[in-house]
Structure 1
């Protein structure tokens, strides 16, 4: 077992496939349930959809003759989706499954 003073090594794809330490899946073995998997690809698709909808909706809202604050809200949500996409791509590049 590794001591607290030892540095952590970067995790590899095999580490994720083997399972991370201290991970407990409460559904493991219950009714033949498969092991839990990360849904990074689904999260990436949903974040990209949110980015397109929010930015497109923001520009459409600005084109209309209405108050601009809803467009600002949509642009902020689009920026959050963009940050989420960056985080997901970083995790996928590290080799996390999903």
Structure 2
């Protein structure tokens, strides 16, 4: 956290906050206590990230297959060239991997943040 000379609401420098354990944690497992500047009713964007990952991952996988097949069937003198199509296939494959990783992260965070539901007796 960068050093600031501006005091927080208690009159101490803002870089002296201690991490506080919370159930909703970040990568390191800790978040800092509220400073009073963030909204109280802030909502998570996990639902939107889930929707975007679910929609775009299959789209990028299909585009990867389409560009790879097109590159394999095109001639060297054609436009676009097989190397350009291969580059597009690689970009789409990378975006599909990013969407899959994001989907896994979102599902893990949603599972961690929501209480476990018990089966009815």
Q: Higher helix fraction: Structure 1 or Structure 2?
A: 1
Where has structure 1 moved over 6 Å in runs of 4 or more?
Answer: none
Structure with the larger RCO, 1 or 2 (CA within 8 Å, 6+ apart): 1
Instruction: Identify unmatched segments of 5+ residues in structure 2.
Output: 1-17, 25-31, 75-81, 115-121
Which structure is larger by alpha-carbon Rg, 1 or 2?
2
- Equivalent pairs counted in the alignment come to 77
Instruction: Identify unmatched segments of 5+ residues in structure 1.
Output: 13-19, 29-34
Tell me the TM-score normalized by structure 1. 0.64
CA shift, 1:11, in A, is 0.7
Distance in 2, matches of 1:39 and 1:77, equals: 20
Partner of 1:36: 42
Tell me the TM-score normalized by structure 2. 0.53
Do structure 1's residue 70 and structure 2's residue 82 form an aligned pair?
no
Distance in 1, matches of 2:108 and 2:60, equals: 22
Distance in 1, matches of 2:69 and 2:102, equals: 27
